[in-house]
Amino acid sequence: MAVPVGLAGTGRRASEVYAPALSACPDVDFVGVWGRSPEPVRQLAERYGAAPCERFEDLVERCRAVVFAVPPPVQAEYAERAARHGRGLLLEKPIGGDIAGAEELTSVAVREKVPTMVSLTWRFTDDVRRFLENDVPDVEPVGGTGRLLTGTHARGAATPTWRLARGVLRDQGPDLLDLLEAALGPIAGMHARGDPRGWTAMTLEHRVGRVSQATLYAGRTRGPDVAFVEVTGPKGTADVEAIGAVTPDSHRRMVAEFARAVSDGRSHQFDIEHGLHLQRLVESAETDLVLHG
């Protein structure tokens, strides 16, 4: 049976990514939309045949799981309320506005044993899965590099103020760090230098003795956003471009896997504890930037 799922949020991420994916997924019954402004809620709900919900509690009552597309501090507050009602959670990253909020949300979700998943969109693309499952093992990597170039913080970019305030490291760093970990092993230490609102560079020490370097820049004014990850070993080099690999099919796959996790009553591989781990890595890098940037 299709899982009743509600959507919290009405911005670009909600309307361009989640609502179409929820509507198209046969494993989901897209039952409702909630947001803080009634008119966008009505319009988005009407477009996809879902119910507009005036209160968040109305959305929770209609569904078994909630997909969140709201700023991190808002997400932490409302996701905790949903978890206390036993609802599954599909969360944006970072999962909270700060570590304290992220830890409290994680504690509640784990205690209530609700299915959770973090939206790591790159990991649901065919190219990235092929890279991790086939290409990386073939080269037996000893190290690698990651490079993210985006125009999200360039002058005139249509980026919400709350995302600009976070800087590129907090905004898109979790995806890059997650992919480097998936290819080279868990990150045990790092050194970060640069500017979180400009060019940021990190040296990452992986637990299995591998080392990688990651760079992020958000002021690009020409060309599409790109995220390259490359690993090298005695048998060669493997690489992938992750942002260009993301398609509507990737979003539908993500939503379908979340629905199956909720139906099975279990958390996904990319669960809330993984989201908390990534947020801790990002905040560790930010601390290093403040001290030595």
List, run by run, the mean pLDDT of 10-residue segments along the chain (293 residues): 97 96 98 97 98 98 98 96 98 95 98 98 98 98 96 69 74 95 97 87 95 93 93 98 97 98 98 98 91 73
| Residue 214 φ/ψ, nearest 5 degrees | -130, 135
Residue in the structure block whose two tokens are 């471009």? 241
| pLDDT at residue 163, as a whole number | 67
| Strand blocks (E) in the chain | 3-8, 28-34, 51-53, 65-68, 88-91, 116-118, 143-149, 187-194, 199-206, 211-217, 226-233, 236-241
Burial class (CB within 10 angstroms; exposed 0-12, middle 13-18, buried 19+) of 103: middle
pTM, 2 dp: 0.94
Q: Which of 38, 43, 40, 32 is nearest to 8 (CA)?
A: 32
**Cβ distance 242 to 174 under 8 Å?**
no
CB neighbour burial string for 107-145, b if at least 16 within 10 angstroms, e if fewer: ebbbebebbbbbbbbbbbbebbbebbeebbeebebebbb
Taking the domains of the chain in order of start, what are their residue ranges? 3-121+248-272, 126-245
| pLDDT at residue 1, as a whole number | 86
Q: What is the CATH number of domain 3-121+248-272?
A: 3.40.50.720
What residues are paired with 122 via a beta bridge?
none
Residue 179, token pair as written in the block: 């992919």
Q: What is the CATH number of domain 126-245?
A: 3.30.360.10
| pLDDT at residue 220, as a whole number | 85
| 3-state SS class at 240 | strand
| pLDDT at residue 13, as a whole number | 95
**Cβ distance 227 to 120 under 8 Å?**
no
| pLDDT at residue 178, as a whole number | 98
